[in-house]
Amino acid sequence: MIFVTGGAGFIGSNFVLDWFAHSAEEVVNFDKLTYAGNLNNLESLRTRKEHLFVKGDICDREQLQALFALHQPRAIVHFAAESHVDRSILGPGEFVTTNVNGTFSLLEAARAYWSGLAPAARDAFRFLHVSTDEVYGTLGPQDPPFCETTAYAPNSPYSASKAAADHLVRAYHHTYGLPTLTTNCSNNYGPFHFPEKLIPLMITNALAGAPLPIYGDGQQVRDWLYVGDHCAAIRRVLEAGRPGQTYNIGGWNEKANLDVVHTLCDILDRVAPKDGGGSYRTQITRVQDRPGHDRRYAIDARKIERELGWRPGETFETGIEKTVQWYLSHREWVRDIQSGDYLKWIEQNYFNRNAA
| Residues contributing to the site for ligand NAD (CB under 6 A) | 5-6, 8-12, 31-34, 36-37, 57-59, 79-81, 83, 98, 102, 130, 132, 162, 185, 187-188, 194
DSSP 355: B
CB of 123 to ligand DAU, least distance (A): 31
Instruction: Pick what 198 binds: ligand DAU, ligand NAD, none; C-beta below 5 to 8 Å, kind-dependent.
Output: ligand DAU
Between residues 133 and 283, which has the closer beta carbon with respect to ligand NAD?
A: 133
Judge whether 166 counts as a catalytic residue. no
Long-range contacts of residues 161-164, Cβ cutoff 8 Å, at least 24 apart = 161/81, 161/82, 161/88, 161/92, 161/95, 161/96, 161/98, 161/99, 161/100, 162/81, 162/99, 162/131, 162/132, 162/134, 162/135, 163/135, 164/96, 164/99, 164/100
| Nearest C-alpha neighbor of 249 from the set 221, 228, 230, 224 | 230
Judge whether 134 counts as a catalytic residue. yes
Instruction: Pick what 210 binds: ligand NAD, ligand DAU, none; C-beta below 5 to 8 Å, kind-dependent.
Output: none
Judge whether 294 counts as a catalytic residue. no
Instruction: Pick what 85 binds: ligand DAU, ligand NAD, none; C-beta below 5 to 8 Å, kind-dependent.
Output: ligand DAU
For residue 176, give the amino acid letter.
Y
CB of 199 to ligand NAD, least distance (A): 10
In the beta sheet, which residues pair with residue 224? 187
- Inter-residue contact 232 to 310 (CB < 8 Å): yes
In 163-309, beta strands by DSSP E:
180-185, 187-189, 212-215, 221-226, 246-249, 254-256, 284-287
The site string for ligand DAU over 202-231 (x = CB under 6 A, - otherwise) reads -----------xxx----x-x---------
CB of 250 to ligand NAD, least distance (A): 10
Q: Please list the active-site residues.
A: 133-134, 158
Q: Interface with ligand DAU by CB under 6 A: which residues? A: 83-85, 132-134, 186-187, 197-198, 201, 213-215, 220, 222, 257, 290, 297
